[in-house]
Structure 1
């Protein structure tokens, strides 16, 4: 590993180990079996009569208020002489310490850490994952002061973080609480690898056993990590840590300043389709190191840890990250062209089956993200900053390529955001539109109103044709009946799509299917039973609705079987091929017969 370089004030996340810490954290992890730890925090001398101590009510990367402070018990405070100080709980995630004279303040508390799936804090006999938002309190008065974290851990444990190592074993240092809260710690029994790409150092830390191949992971992460210069000029870090949890059930990921935590079911690495889920997630979080961590909308700069951070540009923060994740993997040769096309085709197909896209814009979805849910109402009345954000990004990318004569793309927008609006600055809609005008010479206000401030409606055939592509199904695809409803294993409907045959027949989510045409149906055989009929035909659905038995006549709709695919148009023109290459960053991948080259 290269020597740690001195801090430059860019939120780079890499800090000199010689920093003199002003706020010190100590956590005892030597009794981890019951998910518990003891925490002590020492603050410098303060003159405040009411010293405020906070624990965030949300964690970065998840735009949702969480009950993080519920994991804290036995909260107490002392002055510099070790005498108890009065503490009053003021709100969720806030304590007020009463002072009669200037003094340093020490607070201590018991932490219960069993939120693995939330990627906040998890402690057991094999490891501890510590995201400061759910572990370490802070005082707004000393938020910008340097910090140090010291840990007492079992002898066999090894500790890693995006922060620089401290002078003692199992300790880390940073320049502020903001660095601490965005630099999670993984300590325990784990696998560790180091590698380099494009002049930067990387680490892979894996906790948990599973069917992963460390050599393959390192090889592909090396290729991915070397592709950053396809979008941005420069790096916001010198060292980056990929943390991976191979777990029993939970999955997800969170981006941080110079690291990420990725969780996957422990036996979901070997099969190609499963491994693609992992490597796409790794790419997504890597992109976030720039987009969200190095530059983000003004509503999120600086982070306010005690309330929602609103922005109408979350679709750009999240959707464009999802959009770029496969592009970088394609350029790196980690995924094939077919896998790249399949991913985009699935997103288009999902969009077509999301009625909420006709109701809510991506701008409104961004503002509503903090209170958004899932389920039947969401899919019928809401857009998604990730799913629809990808397609809004696609539309904007193609518009930029069109308007600039292939000289500029969506990558150039993000390059400019990183160059000119890096944290602690931020950017708003007018900043984005000004960049678009500089790149194309065109005013994007009308485009923005149509595609961003209004529900997104795209003509995908016309859009894809620009890049010489068309949508199609396999030769064995056929028309099959369609109901628009989705039952769970108990035949209770979890989803009824708006304006679908089931919706128009008066069937609603929560209804329980009993029979079709008077014959009992099972959850396992539901789809097969529907296929016994023809599109346009009528069937009788018997169901319980609010515990009342009723029968409903349903006229079956029509849909195409099989998976949507992207193929080459017949006789693509030179301009279409050039558009594809400017968009994707790779050569035209089809032969003269329209087949993908090997």
Structure 2
């Protein structure tokens, strides 16, 4: 057993994290409890807030050993993530264990020779009865490759220039709500409305334009800070004066913020925290410096960069809407099991409504780009048969077993609380604006004030709507949220100067198929009621060929179908299922259409898009 050194043991709960072996992807954690109980319970969370799936983090914990002084003490495991340690009260307890870290997502932990990352929910055993007391975390520099740094939203107590050292949190919740990035990352900073922001990027290529990313992110942050707290926060002097007058406080609920972005070959995602966020994007989607060594070309940022900015906008908006305003059922997290709520349509859906809209208001995209993004969302919902099966409130409740566990039947049985929830937000906003008394912007700020930036219920939303409009919105919420009827999206957009155009659907949608084209044509999903379902296609089929007018043709992409079918009303499809060849009769579908939005009345549309 190696020596158990610790930077600090004065806090009721203290952790030391070491990079035990970057090649073996192992962190070593030493937990110190200065005053343990006789039968000290320790628990590791089974999920992480913001990602509604039981992920069983304990499966990566190994070699747990407990000692008081030099004496090893007995440890009894009670369930998959709970241990009980037989202690002598009054004698400090040290528990040491290893955590295997090889999950590149934003939800768990990662460690190799190029980068380290962890959430406290993956590494830090909870001491339940001390959960609301101060916690400290020491991140050891020993074992870290040369040139590595640390970035985290935790409060630094005593750290070196690279960020290794001692950090403090006021509770276990705060500790595990601050992920930690380690490595030789790029780092930049800016100030938005008087608040320092840091942006770190791991894995960026030489073409990465950090200045562009900082400029765009600053504009997004300032737009969202003004959204929640009004134009007053744009005056840095007023914010500073407010802090001095009110004991260091300001309307803004955080003192600093950290963006942590991992750029990888292929990936996308984010997870929100109270004063930070962890993000993943594809390297090709980062903003790029103008070319200097290749032949001159028109400099244009990747289309995926707009998607990345939307992700940044989404996670930053969560700083208010889900991390502070949050479902009353999640007022206190229970890390041992699922925490159910029917309100994810509000917290994720309304955040999804505002993420791209605030890009538009921050002047990062134009009207045409915004309407293109909104068209995509509308079509995604319209092309999901499950919207007629499951309400968006039920989708929220079922997230633990359906949204995060998608399969070949997901599109037929469920609807996304992200996409349909965002359209509920759109419908509510446009309805409020049409009536002329308020807007969803004002309602969100009203909820923030009513709930004091804390837990809320659907009843709180209805109350604020009643207060600001003078009438009940219970009927609309029941119809749009707790029912499976269609939303009045088109009618409301038309009222606000947006033209709802129709254009031919993609081949996949007309057939009712979701496929993967990778050296062949593989069926992943068959949509309910589609011509593909009626023909007998099933998930897992490989579509090999199509025969029309007696001539067989090899199929390698879905668009090949339009090339080979001509005016045929029926074709024979040759598929391979479980290595057996089958011939299916496919009736060619009637043409269907998708939505494409455009501006009809610029003055009316801009009033909404500008947030006037």
TM-score interval w.r.t. the shorter chain? Answer: 0.7 to 0.9
- 1:442-591 alignment to 2 at 5 Å? 442-472=471-501, 482-488=510-516, 489=518, 490-517=520-547, 521-533=553-565, 537-545=569-577, 547-559=579-591, 564-569=595-600, 572=601, 577-578=603-604, 580-585=605-610
RCO higher in structure (CA 8 A, sep ≥6)? 1
Quick check: 213-222 or 478-487, which moved more? 478-487
2:159 is equivalent to residue 142 of structure 1: no
How big is each residue's C-alpha offset from its partner over 1:12-66, in whole Å with a ceiling of 9 and x where there is no partner? xxxxxx99733111111263222112110111313x3321111110112211110
2:450 is equivalent to residue 420 of structure 1: yes
Distance 1:82 1:441, change over 3 A: farther
User: Structure 1 residue 328: deviation in Å?
Assistant: 1.3
2:282 is equivalent to residue 265 of structure 1: yes
Gaps of 5+ in 2: 1-7, 230-250, 289-300
State the partner residue of 2:48. 59
Quick check: 200-209 or 20-29, which moved more? 20-29
State the partner residue of 1:161. 152
Distance 2:429 2:476 in 1: 12
- 1:313-352 alignment to 2 at 5 Å? 313-352=343-382
Asked whether the 8 Å contact 1:32–1:124 carries over to 2, the reply is yes
User: Structure 1 residue 531: deviation in Å?
Assistant: 4.5
Asked whether the 8 Å contact 2:368–2:598 carries over to 1, the reply is no
- Find 1:205's aligned residue among 200, 205, 212: 200
State the partner residue of 2:4. none
Query: Secondary structure of 1:160's partner?
Result: strand
User: Structure 1 residue 100: deviation in Å?
Assistant: 4.9
Gaps of 5+ in 1: 1-17, 588-598
Distance 1:554 1:177, change over 3 A: same
Distance 1:531 1:456 in 2: 37
Distance 1:454 1:535, change over 3 A: farther
Query: Secondary structure of 1:267's partner?
Result: helix
User: Structure 1 residue 268: deviation in Å?
Assistant: 2.3
TM-score by structure 2 length?
0.86
Distance 2:91 2:9 in 1: 23
Distance 1:160 1:486, change over 3 A: closer
Asked whether the 8 Å contact 1:480–1:534 carries over to 2, the reply is no
Asked whether the 8 Å contact 1:513–1:542 carries over to 2, the reply is yes
Distance 1:543 1:317 in 2: 43
Distance 1:479 1:545 in 2: 25
User: Structure 1 residue 292: deviation in Å?
Assistant: 0.7
User: Structure 1 residue 541: deviation in Å?
Assistant: 1.8
Asked whether the 8 Å contact 2:349–2:418 carries over to 1, the reply is yes
Distance 2:551 2:406 in 1: 32
Distance 1:226 1:316, change over 3 A: same
Distance 1:50 1:25 in 2: 20
TM-score by structure 1 length?
0.88
State the partner residue of 2:87. 99
State the partner residue of 2:35. 45
- Find 2:172's aligned residue among 172, 177, 186: 177
Distance 1:537 1:470 in 2: 33
Asked whether the 8 Å contact 1:56–1:306 carries over to 2, the reply is yes
User: Structure 1 residue 248: deviation in Å?
Assistant: 2.8
Distance 1:515 1:387 in 2: 35
Distance 1:19 1:105, change over 3 A: closer
2:216 is equivalent to residue 220 of structure 1: yes
- Find 1:385's aligned residue among 386, 409, 417: 417
Quick check: 143-152 or 102-111, which moved more? 102-111
Distance 2:218 2:591 in 1: 42
How big is each residue's C-alpha offset from its partner over 1:511-551, in whole Å with a ceiling of 9 and x where there is no partner? 33232126555453432223443678111223244554432
Query: Secondary structure of 2:45's partner?
Result: coil
How big is each residue's C-alpha offset from its partner over 1:441-490, in whole Å with a ceiling of 9 and x where there is no partner? 1212221221100115123321211111112257xx69979321233334
User: Structure 1 residue 557: deviation in Å?
Assistant: 1.4
Distance 1:35 1:546, change over 3 A: closer
Distance 2:442 2:10 in 1: 39
| Alignment: residue pair count | 556
Distance 1:175 1:560, change over 3 A: same
Asked whether the 8 Å contact 1:514–1:520 carries over to 2, the reply is no
State the partner residue of 2:117. 129
State the partner residue of 2:466. 437
State the partner residue of 2:245. none
User: Structure 1 residue 94: deviation in Å?
Assistant: 1.3
User: Structure 1 residue 383: deviation in Å?
Assistant: 0.7
Quick check: 376-385 or 535-544, which moved more? 535-544
Distance 1:19 1:320, change over 3 A: farther
State the partner residue of 1:594. none
State the partner residue of 1:14. none
- Find 2:260's aligned residue among 226, 233, 243: 243
How big is each residue's C-alpha offset from its partner over 1:324-368, in whole Å with a ceiling of 9 and x where there is no partner? 111111111111111111100111111121111111110000000
2:313 is equivalent to residue 283 of structure 1: yes
- Find 2:181's aligned residue among 165, 186, 203: 186
